Amino acid sequence: MTKLLYQGHGSFRITSASGFVLYVDPFAGEGYDRPADLILVTHEHSDHNAVDLVPQKKNCRIVREKDMLVRGTYKTADFDGIKVQAVPAYNKNHNRAECVGYIITVDGIVVYASGDTSYTDYMKDSLSKLHIDYALLPCDGVYNMDAKEAARCADIIGAVHAIPVHMKPGALFDQAVADRFTAKNRLIVKAGQEIGL
Q: With bands split at pLDDT 50, 70 and 90, how would you rate the model's confidence at 138?
A: very high
- How far separated are the first and last CA of the chain, in Å rounded? 7
| Global confidence as pTM | 0.98
Burial of 190: CB neighbours in 10 Å, binned 0-12, 13-18, 19+: exposed
How high is the mean pLDDT of the chain? 98
CATH of domain 3-190: 3.60.15.10
Half-sphere exposure in the Cβ direction for 90 (13 Å, CA): 13
pLDDT, tens digit (0-9, with 9 covering 90-100), for 60-69: 999 999 999 9
Is there a contact between 57 and 44 (Cβ–Cβ < 8 Å)? no
Residue 139's φ and ψ, nearest 5 degrees, are: -150, 40
Confidence band of 153 (pLDDT split at 50, 70, 90): very high
pLDDT of the residue at 24:
98
**Domain extents for the chain?**
3-190
Q: Average pLDDT for residues 111-130, to the nearest whole number? A: 98
Instruction: Report the pLDDT value the prediction gives residue 132, as an integer from 0 to 100.
Output: 98
